[in-house]
Amino acid sequence: MLEPGTNTRTHPVARHAGVALSGVAADGRQVALRAQGEALGYKNTYGSPIPGKILCDRVASYVHAFNLYWYVRPFGCVTLLATFDDEEGPALYAVDPAGGAFVSSFVLVVYWSFFSCSSSFLLQGERVGGRERERERERERKR
């Protein structure tokens, strides 16, 4: 990862999206290039970055098309697509070799629960933990 060009499993798609690939590296590169093309085409057409759900659906449709005909080989890679949107927050999508698309809701729950905590709540938790540590020290001294 420190040498340039040695990481062949992650690819940038756009400023707000990237893919991580597992499986055949050559197939993964083709899927990543298609995702980059879809993101660029959407930006040129609509003037805004492509939403993660639309990008995931387009990549899944492309992968699925290679399962429909006997004269083309299906892709041998699983694609993880990570996106970030100001309104929706982060999202993680998975596209399997059959063209199925899945969204991970765990990323959204962790993101919003992290930012919904107030700093006073976090500081209060540190104070409570500090009191517990003091009580345990006192108990150890008494023993």
What pLDDT score was predicted for residue 42?
Answer: 97
CA distance 105 to 134: 39
- What's the Cα-to-Cα distance from 137 to each of 32, 46, 61, 75, 129, rounded to whole Å? 55, 63, 61, 60, 12
pLDDT at 85: 85
Q: Summarize pLDDT for 23-75 with one digit per residue, the tens.
A: 999 999 999 999 999 999 999 999 999 999 999 999 999 999 999 988 999 99
Give the ranges where the chain is alpha helix by DSSP (H).
25-46, 52-65, 106-116, 119-142
**pLDDT bracket for residue 125 (50, 70, 90):** very low
Asked if 80 contacts 9 with a C-beta cutoff of 8 angstroms, the reply is no
> Which amino acid is located at 69 in the chain?
Y
